[in-house]
Amino acid sequence: MTVKGRYGDGYIAHHRLTAVLRVVAVLLSHEEGAKWYLEQGMSIPNNCMIKDNPSKPLEHSHGRNRSLQHLAGEALRRAWDWSYRQRASKHPTFVICETLFKDLSWHAPIVHDEQLLRAFGRIPPTRNPGVLAPDEFMTLLELLAVSIPPSAP
């Protein structure tokens, strides 16, 4: 879910539900993550911080980074990539997820505070919400008319 903001024309501040993921595997390192993807016959994703797995070009990102705002172009990309690699070495756990729902468009479901309150009894933070009860999460999806495959939690 996005942070609260004004997305689109004329909307009051709200969140957007952009994806629902199911955890498939929790691995001890990015190297193990890379091995898992290769064993599945899949390419290694760009968020797998291993040697020889380059980041995407800066044009593929939103390009904003408060701590690096004094940089631009290739210098910004290199510094940003380095900061992610530092974070990965400090927190090496690699989580592999299956996408159950994804909408990165302007049509992604709008989430209002009232819906969050109805589902969770509070407004959870979007970046680190803590543990959310599966039945409460399913209530939110129902309120948003978002369906996911039945095998999901």
* Residue 18 near residue 108, CB atoms below 8 Å: yes
Distance CA 67, CA 25 (A): 32
Residue 77 main-chain phi, psi, to 5 deg: -60, -45
> 10 pLDDT band (50/70/90 cuts)?
low
pLDDT of amino acid 151:
67
**Tokens 């369906």 found at:** 147
> 132 pLDDT band (50/70/90 cuts)?
confident
Residue 122 has pLDDT above 80, yes or no: yes
Residue 138 has pLDDT above 90, yes or no: yes
Q: Locate the domains of the chain by residue range.
A: 29-92
